Amino acid sequence: MRRNHMKVLNGHRDKTVLEGIRTKKYSLKECINCHASEKTGSVAASKDDFCVSCHSYAAVKIDCFECHSTKPKGSMAMHPLNAETAHLKHALAANADVKVSAEEMAGVAQ
Amino acid sequence: MSELQSNSDNTLNAPDRRRFIGAASAATAGLVIAPGIMLMEVAHGRPEEQAASSAVRWGMLVDATKCASGCDDCVSACSTENGWTPVAESAHPKQAPQWIRKLELQDPLTQMETNLPMMCQHCADAPCVDVCPTGASFKRADGIVLVNRHTCIGCRYCMMACPYKARSLVHEPLNDTQKADVPRGMGCVESCTLCVQKIDRGDGNTACAEACTAAGHDALLFGDMNDPESEISKRLRELPTKQVRADLNLNLGVRYHGI
């Protein structure tokens, strides 16, 4: 997913825009609903947010949010791979010497 | 179905085939038992995972005789639903995006006043689609003319080609103020989408028509022009309607009565 998510998103984009299929599988909105950060309520507002955290590291500009909203509509459903719980948690744990519990690791691995 | 039956004669002994035919005829019976329900499903929203189909042509009937002077509920409903800033509130009103606008016309000879909303007419043969150099301006299978912002380069040819001045360019960054359902951004052309996000959700109505009904005017009627049983088709059969600039032969999705 990290390597090829742009290809997946492009396919889904065409399904949605050209054919009008907006189910969860084809919806960027649903990606954002789950991946938005608890703190900022967004996937791209601060540098710890889900999309930006990788993109700033890889120095790749994201164009999606020139047009798409970075904020979920309605209530948020937190995905285990949220910025606060995923790779950043590993980094923080390594730096701050905080133990990551087995349950949390199981959540990340999902 | 008849083809299926004739095939089945040869293979009646095959249990798989027999089971399939049983299931198929049961599904057909469902159609016969509840024709009304099936019709509603066709008219008010296909299954969400199914692509838009050309069996449907979405359109709108504007009854200008019912459109009230001084009322712009359709315009504000559109702006709220789709997240564009109302022109009056814009810092640059002359270049502010406008998906639908209210026109108040007066005949110079008789002083007769006509009120009507003007927006993208969703032409079957749309000039904006013809002139688009990148293919961003396109007509969806169900007759809705849209802009694919992923390929739009903001050249504005379509704005020049449109006889209805229905399109606008977004000149300024929107700074994440877009609605989650309606992505829009600087440098792209946009216009009325017939609330495509609502149609795909299965609402079967647009924000402007809902607002007009809520205001008690009932001047806007949205529906499937391909379905002879839909409310809009019935009204189109009864009422004398006009297409704006009918001389251009564009076969419009928006028809006007009383102009």
Within chain B, strands assigned E span: 58-63, 100-106, 113-119, 137-139, 145-147, 168-169, 189-190, 220-224, 241-242, 254-257
How close is the nearest chain A Cα to the Cα of B115, in Å? 33
Q: How would you write the pLDDT of chain B (259 residues) with one tens digit per residue?
A: 444 444 444 444 444 544 444 444 444 433 444 444 444 444 456 888 889 999 999 999 999 999 999 999 999 999 999 999 999 999 999 999 999 999 999 999 999 999 999 999 999 999 999 999 999 999 999 999 999 999 999 999 999 999 999 999 999 999 889 999 999 999 999 999 999 999 999 999 999 999 999 999 999 999 999 999 999 999 999 999 999 999 999 999 999 999 8
How close is the nearest chain A Cα to the Cα of B25, in Å? 29
Contact at CB, A20 and B49, closer than 8 angstroms? no
Contact at CB, B49 and A68, closer than 8 angstroms? no
Spatial distance between the Cα atoms of A59 and A45, rounded to a whole number of angstroms: 16
* B142 near A CB under 8 A: yes
Radius of gyration of chain B (CA): 22
Contact at CB, A32 and B178, closer than 8 angstroms? no
Q: What are phi and psi of A11, to 5 degrees?
A: -65, -45
Closest partner residue to A68 (CB to CB) among B50, B148, B183 is B183
Contact at CB, B181 and A73, closer than 8 angstroms? yes
Q: What is the pLDDT of residue B48?
A: 83
Q: What is the pLDDT of residue A35?
A: 86
Q: What is the pLDDT of residue B69?
A: 94
How close is the nearest chain A Cα to the Cα of B72, in Å? 27
Closest partner residue to A17 (CB to CB) among B148, B176, B180 is B148
pLDDT in tens, A92-103: 445 555 555 566
Contact at CB, A18 and B140, closer than 8 angstroms? yes
Q: What is the pLDDT of residue A18?
A: 94
Query: pTM for the whole thing?
Result: 0.78
B146 has which bridge partners? B138
Closest partner residue to A71 (CB to CB) among B150, B180, B185 is B180
* A23 near B CB under 8 A: yes
pLDDT in tens, A16-28: 999 999 888 888 9
Contact at CB, B52 and A19, closer than 8 angstroms? yes
* DSSP β-ladder status, B254-257 and B58-63: parallel
B-chain CB neighbours of A22 within 8 Å are 48, 197, 200-201
Spatial distance between the Cα atoms of B252 and B241, rounded to a whole number of angstroms: 11
A-chain CB neighbours of B148 within 8 Å are 17-18
B-chain CB neighbours of A13 within 8 Å are 150
